[in-house]
Amino acid sequence: MGRAEFLPRNESGIAATIAALKARFGDRVSQAQALREQHGHTTTWVGNQPPDAVLYPESTEEVSEIVRICAANRTPIVPFGSGSSLEGQLNAPAGGVSLDMTRMNRIVEVHAEDLDCVVQPGVNRKQLNEHLRDLGLFFPIDPGAEATLGGMASTRASGTNAVRYGTMKDNVLNLTVVMADGSVMKTANRAKKTSAGYDLTRLMIGAEGTLGIITELTLKLQGIPQAVSSAFCSFPSVPEACNAVIATIQYGIPVARIELMDELQVKATNAFAKLDLPETPALLLEFHGTPEGVKEQAENFGEIAGEFGGSGFQWFTREEDRARMWQARHDAYWAAKGLRPGVDVISTDVCVPISRLADCVAETQADLAELGILAPIVGHVGDGNFHLSVLVDTKDAKELESAETLMSRLAKRAIAMDGTCTGEHGIGQGKMAYLEHELGHAVDVMRTIKRALDPLNIMNPGKIMRT
């Protein structure tokens, strides 16, 4: 396991908080060891720091009440969705209470005419899309995991569809947020655009629960496209695949998804999903539009791919075939794990300007060879964003050190290319040092905002930046 710094604990305050919460919420407060560990650890490689208790609120009013109790006793609060964050966002380095939002899972309103809906934070993406299907609508952000929408907003999630539909920052109209003093604010109304004051919606999106707890979201929706077509296409090398992506974006083809798998990932996926894909770098694509439009996009992409050595096209237009292809992509993490059973997978990501993508991937592959690390690469390459599944025996200090060298070089390389140390996984505990390296004085400004809005430092402390 990776290292995670512990912070000073306010023992008496935490004890007083738990007593008060038990008196008020009874059985909904749990201190069971396994539950606490699950709420701290999740899918991150950062060492486990469990909260002292887990509590399941059922309304904004209850969250407000809980925050007031925690504030009165200076007790940390860590909001929890489905536990799929990757950088230690859910750990409790100073102890405190994990607020599990999964009982707040009601789809409150769907405004089909306005292409928006109001949901509680514990609703997950799949649940929402099943609810919307009969209305001909969908919510496009798909981070792969069955994340909750509150968690997705808090970490500014994106995923495979972001190249066309944007990230969470582009798909939320307003948020209801319980602030550090227990007060409740609504950041905006349902208008599609607004110039009414500071953009508090976007400030809360990606704040990883350090500024407040999201208790309701209004989301933008999309009409389900009339036609959808997916494709798999092989390339002789990663740079050629990347250059095909660059040309596609520059040409203005509105691809809905354009995903890279390197050779190692294709091998892993073949083994895991019992497929027979050619074991070379590959792109997985999806086109959305009218039947005519999809046909035109696919033809234009086919020409571009041909120029960069793309071959072996497989097209999937039936929904079940498309679903199988994307499932294979979403299972990349598990497929990677199968390459070296028994070790851990550290999932890390960076994002660079697309002109630097091929270089960034190639230099990283050279690092992997030099350091002797197995780490398949997948990527939302239309945005210049890619991921490594680093296979590492974290109990072996030397291996862990090599992995840390790799990740440090990767983050710094992306920053040097005018990109970011994280395109979609967030900062959490794992990338705090890189954030300082990336943004310098802007982190001081974040700290000033954090101190102003959370003067007691109780909202998910020890994340994003040192306060």
CA distance 52 to 31: 6
Determine if 340 is a binding residue for its own copies (CB under 8 A): no
Q: Does 427 bind its own copies (CB under 8 A)?
A: yes
Cβ 144 to its own copies, closest distance in Å?
14
Interface with its own copies, residue 72, by CB under 8 A: no
Q: Which of 37, 279, 296, 393 binds its own copies (CB under 8 A)?
A: 296
| Choice from 12, 23, 61, 250 touching its own copies (CB under 8 A) | 250
**Residue in the block written with tokens 């035109």:** 296
377 strand-pairing partners: 388
Residue among 278, 293, 302, 309 that touches its own copies (CB under 8 A) = 293
Min. distance of Cβ 184 from its own copies in angstroms?
Answer: 7
Q: Which residues contact 407 (CB under 8 A, 6 or more apart)?
A: 346, 348, 388, 390
**Which part of the chain contacts its own copies (CB under 8 A), choosing from 1-9, 43-51, 350-358, 363-371?**
350-358
- Asked if 107 interacts with its own copies (CB under 8 A), we say no
In sequence order, which residues have a C-beta less than 8 Å from that of residue 191 and are 6 or more positions away? 173
What is the CB neighbour count within 10 angstroms for residue 326? 19
Q: Are the beta carbons of 419 and 356 closer than 8 angstroms?
A: yes
Decide: is 65 part of the binding site for its own copies (CB under 8 A).
Answer: no
- Of the candidate spans 49-57, 123-131, 398-406, 440-448, the one that interacts with its own copies by CB under 8 A turns out to be 440-448
Does position 444 interact with its own copies (CB under 8 A)? The reply is: yes
Smallest CA-to-CA distance from 200 within 181, 182, 221, 214 is with 214
- Residue placing its CB nearer to its own copies in the complex, 16 or 453: 453
Dmax (CA) of the chain = 69
Q: Which one of 4, 304, 351, 407 is in contact with its own copies (CB under 8 A)? A: 351
**Distances in whole angstroms, Cα of residue 444 to Cα of each of 384, 397, 422, 432, 453:** 27, 33, 19, 13, 14
Nearest to 452 by CA among 202, 185, 179, 188: 179
Site for its own copies in 187-246 (CB under 8 A): 187-200, 202-203, 205-207, 211, 222-223, 225-226, 246
Q: Is 108 in the site for its own copies (CB under 8 A)?
A: no
| Angle, CA of 55, 57 and 62, to the nearest 5° | 120
Give the residue, chosen from 16, 184, 362, 371, that forms a contact with its own copies under the rule CB under 8 A: 184
Q: Which of 111, 133, 318, 466 binds its own copies (CB under 8 A)?
A: 111
Q: Is 353 in the site for its own copies (CB under 8 A)?
A: yes
- Work out how close the CB of 67 gets to its own copies at its nearest, in angstroms, rounded to a whole number: 14
Single out the residue of 54, 336, 415, 458 in contact with its own copies (rule: CB under 8 A): 415
Q: State which of residues 121, 426, 430, 461 lies at the interface with its own copies (CB under 8 A).
A: 426
Taking the complex as a whole, the smallest distance from the CB of residue 110 to its own copies amounts, in Å, to: 12
Closest CA to 379 of 397, 404, 409, 357: 357
Taking CB under 8 A as the criterion, the residue among 379, 384, 430, 461 binding its own copies is 384
Q: Which of 8, 27, 33, 113 binds its own copies (CB under 8 A)?
A: 113
Dihedral sign computed on CA atoms, order 310, 316, 322, 328? negative
Q: Does 383 bind its own copies (CB under 8 A)?
A: yes
Q: DSSP code of 322?
A: H
Smallest distance, its own copies to C-beta of residue 243, A: 10
Q: How far is the CB of 86 from its own copies (least distance, A)?
A: 10
Q: What does each C-alpha distance from 32 to 93, 159, 431 come to in angstroms?
A: 18, 34, 30
| Count of positions (residues) in the chain | 467
H helix or E strand, kind and range, residue 178 = strand 172-178
Interface stretch with its own copies, choices 40-48, 58-66, 123-131, 158-166 (CB under 8 A): 158-166
